Amino acid sequence: MSIAAIAAGYILDRVHAPFNFTLCFLLTVGGLILSYIAIGMTREPVDQEKSVPEYLPSPWKGGLAILRRDKNFMGYLVVRALSQFATMGFAFYIVYGLLHFGMSDLTAGFLTATLTISSTIASALMGWLGDRLGHRAMLIAGSVAVALSSLIAWGAPSIGWLYPVFILNGLANVAIWTIGMAITVEFGNEETRPTYIGLSNTLVAPFTIVAPLIGGWIAETAGFQTTFMISAIGGLLTAVLLFWLVRDPRPRGRVENS
């Protein structure tokens, strides 16, 4: 993905419009077709060990029971919803670079490559650390990365400062989405886990949709820097709430012996 981002930057910079965008879109379609062919050829191993109970409660009843009973999970959902507003400034980094610093297409490609490289490295590193220190700790670290990324973007004096902004952006995305999925499956047991996953995805989805719209409205009415400052405050608040409201759902013994 990093090579593709740099290549897209070169194409947009060297090929005359509108053929530059047309070529990028055609290459994207070709890459998607190849990736779906590869996925279609993949076969999942048959699970012979998992036992499915004969009676499963209604997802609605089971979900409501979980929300009433599991306060730790409720705190986690609140934090996940808040994190969507904390990261709303991420969507405007490239636009800010274009409008505020006159960023070229090639620089945009390098920044996108920086994002993908940092995300790739963070996925491996934070996954490894999460198995040993607990995924909650990685979520807190990711929330701090959100705050730092937004603060640097808010005060960036030149285009070069956007590189650490995008590196921290990559770390934060991995923590909120990849580590967020990993910690979700640690709630409950084998029987209730699908309900936990469904609740986490369904209840957070409206905030995921609304947050960028609110961010865009703030950016248009009050400016990009106001959006970045609100995101920074949201990142710090998310880290504090994770520390005080959420306990690591994985038993301590499993963390230490992983």
State pTM to two decimals. Answer: 0.80
DSSP labels for 160-224?
GGHHHHHHHHHHHHIIIIIIHHHHHTTSS-TTTHHHHHHHHHHHHHHHHHHHHHHHHHHHHHH-H
- 135-149: pLDDT as tens digits: 999 999 999 999 999
Is 101 buried (19+), middle (13-18) or exposed (0-12) by CB count in 10 A? Answer: middle
Assess whether pLDDT exceeds 80 at residue 4: no
Which are the contacts of 207, defined by CB distance < 8 A and separation ≥ 6? 80, 81, 84, 85
Gap between the Cα atoms of 70 and 249, Å rounded? 11
Query: pLDDT tens across 175-210, in order?
Result: 999 999 899 989 988 778 888 999 999 999 999 999
DSSP state of 44: P
pLDDT of the residue at 256: 42
Question: 137-183, pLDDT tens digit by residue?
Answer: 999 999 999 999 999 999 999 999 999 999 999 999 999 999 998 99
**Amino acid in position 5:** A
Residues near 121 by beta carbon (within 8 Å), at least 6 away in sequence: 170
Give the pLDDT band (50/70/90) at residue 48: low
Q: Does 258 have pLDDT greater than 50?
A: no
Helix (H) or strand (E) holding 236: helix 224-245
Inter-residue contact 84 to 209 (CB < 8 Å): no
Tokens of residue 74, six digits? 């409720």
Residue 253 has pLDDT above 50, yes or no: no
The predicted model gives 26-43 an average pLDDT of 88
